[in-house]
Chains A and B, each alone.
Chain A
Amino acid sequence: MDWVIWLIWIVKGFFLAMFLLVGFAYLTWYERRALARIQVRVGPNRAGPFGLLQPIADAVKLIFKEELTPAKAYKIVFFLAPIITMVPSIIIAAVIPWGPQEPQVKLFGYTISLYVADINVGVLYLMSIASIAVYGIVLAGWSSNSKYAMLGGLRSTAQMISYEITLGLAFVTVILLAGSMRMLDIVEAQRSWWFVVIQPVGAAVFLIAVLAEVNRAPFDMPEAEQELTAGYHAEYSGMKFALFFMAEYQKMIVVSAIAATVFFGGYLGPFVHRWPLLGPIYMLIKIIILLFGMIWVRATWPRVRYDRLMAFGWKVMLPLALAIVFITGFGILLAQELGDPIYLTVIPAASIVAGVIAVIMVNRALTRKRILSYEPR
């Protein structure tokens, strides 16, 4: 019996890792095709039907590339950095539930739960693993002994830790609404209303912070091609570079999965409690829609300048996130004390007001800056 549990763990872990690996490969394909359609191009279409074999061709090419290590690099750290970046991007997905606990899924007579691990501090786990990813980037930038890599590493570290606070506060609103840190509870709490409906501004804050966390456009400072050529992974080549690349795209998939879980009802959908295997399908649909959003943003928006990005994170996002935490708490309290869930509508109403105020503040800051700099020198 014992070895069966081990086997289940290994098989489930293997499935999850493979899902993310294949997902990464086809996300690159999907991104390139989607970008191409947006940019009146065709995109990769030579390798296989619709270019579907393109990721494989890319992988083979990267395997046959020479691995270069700069002469004065810190060799061990330089070797470890891509691994430290890549591993968290896979294991962070462990707590994401892919289907409901009830009814149980039976396979070969064994009960299979549709998650790798169900820990009662799921949100805390997500936050802690997410912050490990910073180490890989800063170590990669530092150990390369190259100025571009160093600047990129510093930039991304400062950026990621700044937005991590906002991300954490966005998680707090979710915990407030669900009353639990367990991912399954959070999903089940959304059976009547998805949290994006109750706390739309919270979801927006979460999505923006997530874009900054995974270094995607318009917050792709660390990689800012036009400024820092490639940022922290400028010195990496071959498979070590592929690991960074892999980590970035796996993180995209994972954060989309997390966003779907905490704000967009996770595996919830019609009939999912009758046929639990529908859960993963609903998840996948939601993930793909969120991923398309990220690609869309990348195709259309210029990059924010670095100082503006930091100012936005500290001066706008952080106060806004704090405000919506208290708005959520107040709304829940109101509904609880007065015994009528109708009072929960206070939350979206007040949050939207807070969001509008934040947007006005940003606009005002831009206007003020303009007037100042226009004064005669």
Chain B
Amino acid sequence: MAATPLQTQTVDLAARFPSAVSVDARNGYTGWLVEKDKLLEIARSIKEELGYDLLTSVTGVDYLPEEKMEVVYHAYKTTGGPGLIFKVQVPRQDPIEIPSVTPLWPGVDFQEREIWDLLGIKFTGHPDLRRILLWEGFAGHPLRKDWKEGFYEEDAKPFKSRWPEGNYVSSEEKNPYKDNLSFPKNFDPEKWIPEGEAALYGALARYTETDEQGIKSDRIVVNMGPQHPSTHGVFRAVVTVEGETILSLKPVVGYLHRNHEKIGERNTFLLNMPYTDRLDYFNSMSNNFGYALAVEKLMNIPVAERADYIRIIMAELSRVQNHLVLVGMLLNDLGAMYTPALYIFEERELILDIFEAVSGSRMMCNYFRFGGVARDIPEDVLQKIKDLVFKRLPAKTDEMDRFLSENEVLVSRLKGIPVIDGPSAVQYSITGPVLRAAGIPYDIRRADPYGIYDRFEFDVAMRTHGDLMDNYLIRLDEIRQSIRILEQAVSKIPSGPINSQKPQYQVRVPAGEAYGRIEAPKGELGYYVISNGKPNPWRYHVRAPSFINITGLEKMCVGKKIADFIAILGVLDIVLGELDR
């Protein structure tokens, strides 16, 4: 089985805009280099004339040796097919400014803020360019290659300094506190008071009083989160409410930020595999899958046949348990006192048992390797999977459907409450079940098949109304489709080696870039990896579905009730590990 096909150039942009576009001719790179000044014009033509309506990923790269900064755009068609990559390069001298494409794709809002936050590229014309993952007042932009963290040791692992004379000296001992921390002038960390809140509250439409037939009543600004029972972690939303109705809302994220991408650049390629587990900690198998795909594309290696099947089985089991948890927790958010959630956890435990049996860990699986998987599935575990897939899971899904879907209170809470409509969802770069519930049948497993998904028979689940009820029902549909795929995969799985490569601690990755994307349970999970031929990635970017799906949160929630906001957050299925990275 060959590796996933490389993205091919289907449109000749350079022919259309000979003066402003050139082919990216660097070795191992694809796509088009676009002139900064013509970006908006060309982007509009890409979106409106060429039909690449879904701009999924926007990210920046710091090419320090070449003194260049680059912003990379990945655009796709919702009708399917390979994507179009276009890039803007600017000299690496502050202020680095690039026009914002938010007027065309409002969904890049948070991604551009993230690039500004981490790389210091300013987007002119962005409506609300504040830091997003870090706090306002943070010094520097950490993803720049010349930015060093406190207790910095070396650029890349394995750190030679860790075992210089056979004994371990921790970096805290070598660098006492404050010695290698650099603060801006006149900054005393002991006396510092955060000031970013003013900008945030200022960003909310400012309401103090309303005049309703001469009667004045106040509108209240409430913080929902970070310490709130139903924001699924440390997610925070600042909400202006009048009575029960939401007038404006700003999500605030980054409380769990750990600069995953910088850590990824320090690690070797293989060392990143367990780190991906920590992104969406419900679906470590899917996370592994995406990263393995991206690096395999770079290395241009095939995947062992049996491993391909194992990957599909694991990814789909992961999807099943993710959607089960979503349904349970959604009911919990609606106030159903944990009862559905606890019944669903029973099924989830069985799936986690399988993960444990194959990988040794229930949640942080670290199971995929470049070219295959880490360990083979034992025969008895395969039998267990068969039992689950053919008997237990379909029965339990039907049971859940029967008990929950027609409950009057549930129907009255979910039915007819719009989350987002199809065209807006595409505009906001929303992917995954939320997009499909809005009537856009865009599923990467079908639209741009990866792995061996093209060998299986399944339907792309789709619902048309885009309301909460459809968002809930589509999860059940997807569980059923996943079970269909699983049934085929477990019966057809061949025997053979589980890795096309020799087991190795260090992989040799040729220079180049690759974007590996999969249909994770929460949406499009993409890894943009750049190698410069060294053992560590030059750039390692995660396109996290949770992060990008909340871009449209304000649009979804304005005019609805507080209780609806909780339910919408529930169906958006965010995981903070992935959102804050």
Asked if A and B touch directly (CB within 8 angstroms), the answer is: yes
Known: A40-B343, A225-B230. 16 other contacts (CB 8 A): A35-B337, A39-B342, A40-B346, A150-B220, A217-B337, A224-B335, A229-B228, A229-B229, A299-B337, A302-B331, A302-B336, A303-B563, A308-B412, A369-B415, A370-B415, A374-B467
Interface string of A357-377 (1 = CB under 8 A from B): 000000000100110111001
Within 8 A of B (CB), among A331-377: 366, 369-370, 372-374, 377
Residue in A147, A298, A301, A373 whose CB lies within 8 Å of B220: A147
- Distance (whole angstroms) from the CB of B262 to the closest CB of chain A: 35
Q: How far is the CA of A38 from the CA of B416 in the complex (A)?
A: 30
Chain A residue nearest to B230 (CB atoms) is A226
- The 6 sampled A-B contact pairs (Cβ below 8 Å) are A39-B343, A226-B229, A300-B339, A305-B563, A308-B412, A366-B415
Interface string of A226-242 (1 = CB under 8 A from B): 11110000000000000
- B335 to chain A: which residues have CB within 8 Å? 217-218, 220, 224-226, 302-303
Q: How far is the CA of A155 from the CA of B562 in the complex (A)?
A: 12
Chain B residue nearest to A36 (CB atoms) is B342
- Distance (whole angstroms) from the CB of A93 to the closest CB of chain B: 27
- B409 to chain A: which residues have CB within 8 Å? 218, 301-304
Q: Is the CB of B561 within 8 A of A305?
A: yes
- B343 to chain A: which residues have CB within 8 Å? 39-40
- A41 to chain B: which residues have CB within 8 Å? 342
Q: Is B410 an interface residue (CB 8 A)?
A: yes
- B407 to chain A: which residues have CB within 8 Å? 301-302
- B203 to chain A: which residues have CB within 8 Å? none
- A224 to chain B: which residues have CB within 8 Å? 335, 563
Q: Is the CB of B415 within 8 A of A304?
A: no
Residue in A298, A301, A303, A306 whose CB lies within 8 Å of B244: A306
User: Chain B, interface size: which category?
Assistant: 35 or more
Q: How far is the CA of A377 from the CA of B418 in the complex (A)?
A: 11
Residue in B241, B332, B338, B465 whose CB lies within 8 Å of A374: B465
If the complex has contacts A226-B332, A303-B334, A366-B412, are A39 and B339 also in contact, measured as CB distance less than 8 A? yes
Q: Is B375 an interface residue (CB 8 A)?
A: no
Q: Is B199 an interface residue (CB 8 A)?
A: no
Chain A positions near chain B (C-beta within 8 angstroms): 35, 38-41, 147-148, 150-151, 155, 217-218, 220, 224-229, 298-308, 366, 369-370, 372-374, 377
- A229 to chain B: which residues have CB within 8 Å? 228-229
- A370 to chain B: which residues have CB within 8 Å? 415-416
- B561 to chain A: which residues have CB within 8 Å? 305-307
- Distance (whole angstroms) from the CB of A4 to the closest CB of chain B: 49
Chain B positions near chain A (C-beta within 8 angstroms): 220, 222, 228-230, 241, 244, 331-339, 342-343, 346, 407, 409-413, 415-418, 421, 465, 467, 561-564, 566
Q: How far is the CA of A362 from the CA of B416 in the complex (A)?
A: 15
A-B pairs, 4 with minimum CB distance: A303-B335, A302-B334, A226-B230, A370-B416
- A220 to chain B: which residues have CB within 8 Å? 335
- B416 to chain A: which residues have CB within 8 Å? 366, 369-370, 372-374
Q: How far is the CA of A305 from the CA of B412 in the complex (A)?
A: 8
Residue in B222, B336, B412, B415 whose CB lies within 8 Å of A147: B222
Q: How far is the CA of A339 from the CA of B562 in the complex (A)?
A: 56
If the complex has contacts A300-B336, A373-B467, are A306 and B563 also in contact, measured as CB distance less than 8 A? yes
- A147 to chain B: which residues have CB within 8 Å? 220, 222
- Distance (whole angstroms) from the CB of B171 to the closest CB of chain A: 40
